[in-house]
Amino acid sequence: MNLILFGPPGAGKGTQADIIVGTRGWPKLSTGDMLRASAAAQTGVGRKVRKVIERGELVPDDVVVGIISSRIDAPDCRAGFVFDGFPRTVPQAEALDRMLEKKGLTVDGVIEIRVEDHALIFRIEKRAAESDEVRADDNLETLKNRLAVYREQTAPLLPYYEKQGKLFSVNGMVDIEGVAAQISDILDGLEGAQKTA
């Protein structure tokens, strides 16, 4: 099952992807995690990536698509994978569709976690307060930019996947278990449909 978890920063994509890893065994592919690892390296590329993340902007599409392309060829991705934070632009989604088609694969489902703006700000501030390692982009100023970038560049992916008949939405305003249960129902449905196909 090749899945995309979709939603604004702070929606809980990473948390829900971790739950899916535990319950279904598909690996989580988080471009944010991969890029933070690259930013931690003291290389020229690492320094550039770090600056982009700190501003709350997006890393260029070709960089992100390149990282994903090699990652999905790994043996642990054979039964499927869960994207967290990818794709984030229409060109990334188009590149992903082309890449998967070449490999005889497809995106099976896109699950949007819907959360209201005021809750996103509260959650990110909470994450920054509770985490040992504070993310450089978990502050109010960068968050506002990340939300603006989400609305302008990432939200247009919703009609992209809706047209493909792959979009599902869950209510992200309930607790973690409540969101996980809604996602699990969708995944059961998708797996059932795959078995009967």
Residues of this chain, 150-169, that bind ligand AMP according to CB under 6 A: none
Under rule CB under 6 A, residue 86 binds ligand AMP: yes
CA-to-CA distance for 111 and 128, rounded, in angstroms?
25
Amino acid at 31: T
Cα separation of 19 and 13, whole Å?
10
In the beta sheet, which residues pair with residue 81?
2
Sites for ligand AMP among residues 117-156 (CB under 6 A) = 137, 146
Q: Is 4 one of the binding residues for ligand AMP (CB under 6 A)?
A: no
Q: Is 162 exposed, middle or buried (0-12, 13-18, 19+ CB in 10 A)?
A: middle
Distances (CA, A) of 116 to 6, 45, 189: 14, 35, 26
> Is the backbone peptide bond immediately before 91 cis, with ω within 30 degrees of 0?
no
**What is the identity of the amino acid at 25?**
G
Smallest distance, ligand AMP to C-beta of residue 175, A: 21
Q: Which of 4, 11, 20, 58 binds ligand AMP (CB under 6 A)?
A: 58
Number of residues that bind ligand AMP (CB under 6 A): 18
Q: CB-based contacts of 46: which residues, under 8 Å, 6+ apart?
A: 38, 39, 40
Q: Which stretch binds ligand AMP (CB under 6 A): 57-65, 104-112, 121-129, 179-187?
A: 57-65
Which residues in the 32-51 window bind ligand AMP by CB under 6 A? 32, 35
> Environment class of residue 104 by beta-carbon count within 10 Å: exposed (0-12), middle (13-18) or buried (19+)?
exposed
CB of 134 to ligand AMP, least distance (A): 13
Which strands make up the sheet holding 167-171, listed edge to edge?
28-30, 81-84, 2-6, 109-114, 167-171
Which one, 57 or 162, has the nearer CB to ligand AMP? Answer: 57
Q: Which is nearer to ligand AMP, 53 or 113 (CB)?
A: 53
Tokens found for residue 80:
């499927």
- Give 138 or 170: the residue with its C-beta nearer to ligand AMP: 138
- Measured from the CB of residue 188, what is the shortest distance to ligand AMP in angstroms? 26
31 counts as binding ligand AMP under rule CB under 6 A: yes
Compute the least distance from the CB of residue 191 to ligand AMP, in Å. 26
Residues that bind ligand AMP (CB under 6 A): 9, 31-32, 35, 52-53, 56-59, 64, 85-88, 92, 137, 146
